[in-house]
Structure 1
Amino acid sequence: MRPKIVLFGDSITEESFGEGGWGASLAHLFARWADVVLRGYSGYNTRWALKTVERAMEGVCPEGSAPPAVVTVFFGANDASLPDRRSGFQHVPLPEYQSNLRTLCVFLKERWSGTGIILITPPPIDEEGRIQNNGDGSGLPERTNESAGAYAKVCKAVAEELGLPVIDIWSIMQGCPNWEKSCLSDGLHFTPYGNKVLYEEVVKKLRDGGLSIGTLPADLPLFSSIDPNDPLKSFSN
């Protein structure tokens, strides 16, 4: 009865249904108009996502139901981990990241040809925050903002190649005042304000694609449309 918006990504997606999360805010916004479906996998990179995407999407659309209206694809923060640091086992080389991201989008399009895809770049990295919250005693961060920026650039390139909308959250967040602490809680994951920044960008992209409360019908009569003199008449069709 309702269109689906699927959120597919790593921990920043998995945590998005937490208090103040960007996914929870989307679910609240579309509460009577669309279902927001969470498919977030903490720690995953594009290599692992590519291996598991078919299983991850099982059950999103039961047989006979409509395909999702939109899928957000938000990977790269873990791919960009430095190979010789603490989180090196999550690292995916830049050329492979580009290929994996492209293949993920092609898979989704082949599965649901009419479904829109929104790519989201990796976020910026507050290296001081990473040392404080995930340090190994070396005084060096396991991720750098420069590396995240390189992966963000490739994500945008894939979006341009495939003709897909993209949210460059790496650049957008760095335009926020004191972004290192206002947007990021531990140098990587989002504060409530960081979640708000991404939420607003996703809403803009959905609106640009024709998906907004103003364009979607409510699946059942709204309370404001029910005739108080004959309430059941509203449910007769």
Structure 2
Amino acid sequence: MARPIQDSIILFGDSLTSRQDVPGSLQARMSDSYRRNYDILNRGYGGYNTVTVQPLFDQIFARKDDVAGKSKLRLVMIWFGVNDAAFPGHIQHVPLETFKDILNTWIKDLTSPTSQYPVVPNIILITTPPMHTPMMIEKDKPIRETERSIKYRDAVLEVASEWKAKSKGPEFKVEAIDLWGAIMKDAGGTGEELKPYFTDGLHLSGKAYQVLWDEYMKLVKGDLKGRELDWTTMPASTPGELISGSVHRTKPAARQAFCKYGSTQSEREWKDPAEENLKEDVTSPKKEDVSDSEPVNKAPKTEDVEKDTKPLASVIEWLVSDEAFDLANPEIVHGKGEIDMAAEAQDKTPPSETAGKKDEKETQPTTLRHSHRLGLRTIQTLLNPPFSIRTLSDVDEAGFEGRRKIMWEARTQHKEKTAAQLGDLATGIREICGNSDDEDDLSELSGVRVRIQGKGTVEAQKEIGDVLKTIKGIGPGVVGIFMRRVQGDWGEVFPFADERGLKAARSFGLVGEGDGADELARAVGGDGEEGRRKYVRVLDTLVGLELEKKVEEAVGRVGK
């Protein structure tokens, strides 16, 4: 029998816990989130109720003498009731009072200092979900009914409430997830609206497990905050720590920062080093270039990258320095041409609109690095005097000709097309924000933010992508840039990192093969607003270095 070498979490329940045939099940999400931190032990038993599982309790939970000085149990999630609520007389039925007594006994055994079991610091009770009776009738004769099942849901909430009142100190906390109420709220109805949440009317679909996960996240970020359950603030265990048994979890992980646009080149912490020309597909990257579009929480396997051996702290310190910023974001000198533009194409006077396409072809950049610099220059020209385009109203007031003049001043490519797309962008933002006239709401994209509140990271990132891509001219590349910056203010999408940033991070040894945004955030470190700014600063610098083809040079500079 395998024994945990990390601290562990036990999922204790019936078939709703044990089933792994549905994508995004509870264990799948827990295992992915706590990898290299906690072992997830699934102790779900299909068909069991609180009475029939009783003989297994002593086998599932180790006694104090057996685990002294060894790995700890960090969390127990108890999820029973769906079988207990069967009709009286059925083999699965457990009387309501007996059901409550057993739950109370379990919690007492797992929290009392005088118990034979170690005190479990965190316990979460999960209520029974609702049912979709028509689906169950299609499969077989139902042995449950809504009216009876909801009493068992209420019993779970009652028991949890009583124990929550007792858990005032730091020794243990008892919380509850009202899955019944959460699914009903998410579905918005009691009829056919519930069908997508089930596979057979009783067992949950991936959609329902997503609701459960969102509720769990609320607890981790809320009432259970600071109780070593937030994997985004936990450094992953290294192989050496696991072998030696010296796994530590005190280092907080990085959060995300939102770097806003600066008005001058010297305001480095507010500079926006965009790598694209404010639209999708500014240039056609070579095949070896890595896409900077889709969100990558878990990086795909790529070629082996030799990690730098320098301490992570010195790497991070350098990446947030002005030296790193300058290397990743070369200063664009006003009035000077670049090698990506033909000598005869330096004229900044807009030609006739019909001549635009010909001129754009003559000035088209040949590399992604040049496209990066064009994007930087275009943004600086837009935002700074004399144009100072800062709001949607500014975009509207400039009109097409005014925007076209700015593009020629910036000497960017696709000048007419970009000028038109800026107008489309303004229109699209107003539409997704409900055509609000409030400039603050539009600036903060409140109409988008409200759609992701309370959602899990993956779902929130997908929702943002889906919404933004309804705007003409917005594609995956722009969505990726947006999320990289906005995650500092919008915690729902944290952590985010695209493949280009992760590729550079691997070169510095910040993350390993197969690691994603979670691991990068842990490596960066920091907490609170300062930590969030630090994360995005590092990520922006990594992306800039990759675009400028300066990663190898940067790795050589670290620690010098």
TM-score band w.r.t. shorter chain? 0.7 to 0.9
Given candidates 203, 213, 225, the residue that maps to 2:231 is 213
Q: Alignment partner of 1:66: what SS?
A: coil
Distance 2:310 2:99 in 1: 56
Equivalent in the alignment of 2:138: 132
Given candidates 84, 92, 98, the residue that maps to 1:79 is 84
Higher mean alpha-carbon deviation, 181-190 vs 108-117, is at 108-117
Q: Alignment partner of 1:112: what SS?
A: coil
The letter of the residue matching 2:60 is: A
Equivalent in the alignment of 2:147: 146
Q: Can you list the C-alpha shifts for 1:19-46, whole angstroms capped at 9, x where unaligned?
A: 3212101111222332211111111111
The letter of the residue matching 1:107 is: D
Is 1:23–1:199's contact at 8 Å kept on the other side of the alignment? no
Deviation at 1:193, TM superposition (A): 0.7
What is the TM-score normalised by the length of structure 2? 0.37
Listed as ranges, the gaps of 5+ residues in structure 2 are 165-173, 240-304, 313-508, 510-560
Deviation at 1:57, TM superposition (A): 2.6
RMSD: 2.6
- In structure 2, do the counterparts of structure 1 residues 21 and 153 end up closer, same or farther at CA, with 3 Å as the change threshold? same
Computing the radius of gyration from Cα coordinates, the structure with the larger value is: 2
Q: Alignment partner of 1:13: what SS?
A: helix
Is 1:18–1:24's contact at 8 Å kept on the other side of the alignment? no
Is 1:67–1:115's contact at 8 Å kept on the other side of the alignment? no
Distance 1:57 1:19 in 2: 28
Deviation at 1:16, TM superposition (A): 4.4
Distance 1:155 1:201 in 2: 16
Given candidates 14, 26, 31, the residue that maps to 1:10 is 14
Equivalent in the alignment of 2:119: 113
Superposition misfits of 4+ residues, deviation over 6 angstroms: 231-234
Equivalent in the alignment of 2:200: 186
Deviation at 1:144, TM superposition (A): 1.0
- For 1:39-50, list aligned pairs within 5 A: 39-50=43-54
Q: Alignment partner of 1:90: what SS?
A: coil
Distance 1:13 1:72 in 2: 10
Equivalent in the alignment of 1:103: 105
- The answer on 1:176 being equivalent to 2:186 is yes
- In structure 2, do the counterparts of structure 1 residues 12 and 43 end up closer, same or farther at CA, with 3 Å as the change threshold? same
Paired positions, count: 221
Deviation at 1:182, TM superposition (A): 1.3
Tell me: higher relative CO, structure 1 or 2? Use CA pairs within 8 A at least 6 residues apart. 1
Given candidates 1, 25, 28, the residue that maps to 2:29 is 25
Distance 2:46 2:101 in 1: 21
**Higher relative strand content:** 1
Q: Can you list the C-alpha shifts for 1:170-219, whole angstroms capped at 9, x where unaligned?
A: 11111122552111111110111111111222233233323112332221
Is 1:9–1:40's contact at 8 Å kept on the other side of the alignment? yes
Equivalent in the alignment of 1:138: none
Deviation at 1:50, TM superposition (A): 2.4
Distance 1:175 1:33 in 2: 33
Distance 1:229 1:168 in 2: 47
The letter of the residue matching 2:32 is: H
Q: Can you list the C-alpha shifts for 1:80-113, whole angstroms capped at 9, x where unaligned?
A: 01124xxx11000111111111111112223121
Distance 2:54 2:109 in 1: 9
Equivalent in the alignment of 2:128: 122
Distance 1:199 1:17 in 2: 17
Distance 1:207 1:232 in 2: 30
Identity of aligned residues (%): 30
Q: Can you list the C-alpha shifts for 1:51-94, whole angstroms capped at 9, x where unaligned?
A: 321112359x855323211000000000001124xxx1100011
Distance 2:219 2:102 in 1: 23
